[in-house]
């Protein structure tokens, strides 16, 4: 899939330094369309093309999971015509993508309360997940009807029910670690997010992947999502690699750990 110029751009990133899970807030579709005198839905259509592109770029770079914020729990409050348009895009575009996903080893996963989506969109998503379940090159995690607070709340409820039913002892509850709690989250089978990219110039998390935001690296790009390019994406990867992830430790500790693990 790579062209020569891509490998030139990403070639000097060691594979072990590439973020395993990249999450993207694809913001700016509406402003992109407005600046061209087009309807907002045309911006989303172009945004959906770009969603397909970034999966290819990420796969070429060696990213293992890419999650895309396609519809948040808060997006239901957009004008009805936009909500219906986004759902129709999902229902029509996803089935067409299945052959390419299979050819390119893309496994579709979904994060969010998919049961609440309109029937056509829900069926298209679930069918695409089923038809691509055997693929292993990269996971495309579509975040649909997703909210980070809702995810944490659902986990807390699940934990409370387990406790009430005696499946968890008092001692186990007291000893519960953040790693243990993560097992109750919708994301329990996903890799932690290493890098969050938000396009469109806003500097917010907007209820995306809240749990993993604890230690994710954040990268904000001014570009409207439909204009986002492979070069923009590779720049974000390079910035990620240049950062020191300390996870609460000192820089000296991190450097000496790295030196020890490379012996």
Q: Which of residues 124-183 bind ligand FPP (CB under 6 A)?
A: none
- Ranges of H-type helices in the chain: 4-10, 29-34, 40-61, 80-103, 119-131, 148-164, 170-175, 178-182, 230-242, 251-261
CA 250 – CA 238 distance, rounded (Å) = 22
9: Cα separation from own chain's centroid: 23
Cβ proximity to ligand FPP, 146 vs 186, nearer residue: 146
Can you tell me which of 6, 18, 27, 62 binds ligand FPP, judged by CB under 6 A?
A: 27
- Kindly state the smallest distance separating residue 111's Cβ from ligand FPP, in Å: 13
Cβ proximity to ligand FPP, 102 vs 162, nearer residue: 102
What DSSP state is assigned to residue 50? Answer: H
- Kindly state the smallest distance separating residue 34's Cβ from ligand FPP, in Å: 7
Q: Which of residues 60-89 bind ligand FPP (CB under 6 A)?
A: 70, 75, 89
75 catalytically annotated: yes
Can you tell me which of 93, 205, 210, 254 binds ligand FPP, judged by CB under 6 A?
A: 93
Asked if 112 interacts with ligand FPP (CB under 6 A), we say no
Interface stretch with ligand FPP, choices 40-48, 164-172, 181-189, 213-221 (CB under 6 A): 40-48
Asked if 195 interacts with ligand FPP (CB under 6 A), we say no
Cβ proximity to ligand FPP, 51 vs 66, nearer residue: 51
CA 65 – CA 246 distance, rounded (Å) = 22
Asked if 90 interacts with ligand FPP (CB under 6 A), we say yes
Interface stretch with ligand FPP, choices 47-55, 103-111, 184-192, 227-235 (CB under 6 A): 47-55
CA 45 – CA 98 distance, rounded (Å) = 18
CA 142 – CA 250 distance, rounded (Å) = 35
Asked if 31 interacts with ligand FPP (CB under 6 A), we say yes
From 6, 27, 60, 212, the catalytic residue = 27
CA 35 – CA 250 distance, rounded (Å) = 46
Cβ-contact 131, 102 below 8 angstroms: yes
User: Within a 10 A sphere around the Cβ of 52, how many other Cβ atoms?
Assistant: 15
Closest among 169, 143, 166 to 24, alpha carbons compared: 143
CA 4 – CA 2 distance, rounded (Å) = 7
Can you tell me which of 9, 22, 23, 26 binds ligand FPP, judged by CB under 6 A?
A: 26
Half-sphere exposure of 147 (CA within 13 A, CB side): 10
Cβ proximity to ligand FPP, 51 vs 159, nearer residue: 51
113 catalytically annotated: no
Query: Which residues would be at the binding site for ligand FPP (CB under 6 A)?
Result: 26-31, 44, 47-48, 51, 70, 75, 89-90, 93, 200
Residues involved in catalysis: 27, 75
């Amino acid at each position: 899939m790579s062209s020569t110029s891509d490998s030139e751009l990403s070639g000097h990133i060691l594979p072990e330094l590439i973020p395993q899970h990249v999450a993207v807030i694809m913001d700016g579709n509406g402003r992109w369309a407005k600046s061209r005198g087009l309807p907002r839905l045309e911006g989303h259509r172009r945004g959906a093309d770009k969603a397909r592109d970034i999966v290819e770029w990420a796969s070429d770079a060696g990213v293992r999971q890419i999650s895309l914020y396609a519809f948040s729990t808060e997006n239901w409050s957009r004008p009805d015509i936009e909500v219906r348009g986004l759902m129709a895009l999902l229902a029509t575009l996803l089935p067409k993508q299945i052959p390419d996903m299979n050819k390119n080893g893309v496994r579709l996963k979904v994060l969010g309360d998919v049961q609440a989506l309109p029937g056509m969109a829900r069926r298209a998503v679930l069918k695409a997940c089923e038809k691509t379940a055997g693929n292993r090159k990269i996971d495309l995690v579509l975040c649909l009807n997703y909210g980070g607070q809702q995810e944490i709340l659902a986990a807390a409820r699940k934990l409370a029910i387990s406790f009430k039913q005696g499946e968890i002892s008092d001692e186990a509850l007291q000893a519960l670690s953040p790693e243990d709690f993560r097992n109750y989250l919708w994301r329990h089978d996903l890799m932690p997010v290493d890098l969050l990219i938000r396009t469109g110039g806003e500097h917010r998390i907007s209820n995306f992947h809240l749990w993993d935001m604890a230690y994710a690296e954040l990268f904000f790009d001014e570009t409207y999502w439909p204009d986002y390019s492979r070069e923009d994406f590779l720049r974000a990867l390079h910035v990620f690699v240049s950062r020191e992830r300390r996870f609460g430790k000192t820089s000296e500790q991190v450097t000496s750990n790295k030196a020890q693990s490379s012996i």
